[in-house]
Amino acid sequence: MNFWELFKVSLPALLEGAQMTVRIITVGIVVALIIGLVIGVINVGNNKVLKAFARVYIGLVRGTPLLVQVFFIYFGLPTVLDFRLSAVTAGTIAIAINASAYMAEIIRAGILSIDNGQMEASRSLGLSYFQSMRKVILPQAIKRMVPPLVNQSIISLKDTSILSAIGIIELTSSGQIIIASTFKAFEVWIMVGFIYLIVIEILTLATSWLERRWTV
């Protein structure tokens, strides 16, 4: 079987795996952004209790490997809480939690990069802290956050390959299955890498388009 024949035979399974990867990373990143935004805003606030919680959360997540987090959510929690999540749900939650800690730090840095005088000026106009953050600070900070947030999204996209450890048939796992039946490791990994490259390039182009629109 030559490369092109292998490609035609393997493509449906690889695209199915890629679809699972995209589904997991899409949901995971949306949830991570929401959590990261909340934790990031808390981390620049004045509430000492909430700031302590945010720092502990970030420290725990960043201080443990993603694989350990996946195993903890999929295998560990069910033994204590007496319920079992599906592999896809557990994997998506793990990706979201892991990415959220890094995104929280990106968001914190983006907020702190805006001159503090803007917050003081908006508060003097009668806006509350959260209104000032939403209407004045975040719209400016988000332009600076986009490149590192996308970079983290790309890292998390590649990290989905770890989820094959709990039986999710994503792109990398699909490649492993094809290799097991064809013994064409070199060719199949080229295909897998190329599909990852296409997905990441689409994400990069979308980011460039957003940056151009926001800098006009």
Contacts of 69 (CB under 8 A, 6+ apart): 61, 94, 97, 98
Tell me the whole-structure pTM to 2 decimals.
Answer: 0.90
Query: 154: closest CA among 18, 25, 19, 16?
Result: 25
> What tens-digit pLDDT sequence spans the chain (216 residues)?
788 889 899 999 999 999 999 999 999 999 999 999 999 999 988 889 999 999 999 999 999 999 999 999 999 998 888 888 999 999 999 999 999 999 999 999 999 998 888 887 887 888 877 788 888 888 888 888 888 998 999 999 999 999 999 999 999 999 999 999 989 999 999 999 999 999 999 888 887 777 777 655
* H helices present in 1-137, as ranges: 3-43, 48-62, 66-71, 77-81, 87-112, 116-124, 129-132
Domain of residue 50, CATH code: 1.10.3720.10
Tokens standing for residue 131: 């209104």
Q: Which domain holds residue 24?
A: 3-215
Straight-line distance from the first to the last Cα atom of the chain, in angstroms, rounded to the nearest whole number: 52
Number of domains in the chain: 1
Alpha carbons 12 and 30: distance in angstroms, whole number: 27
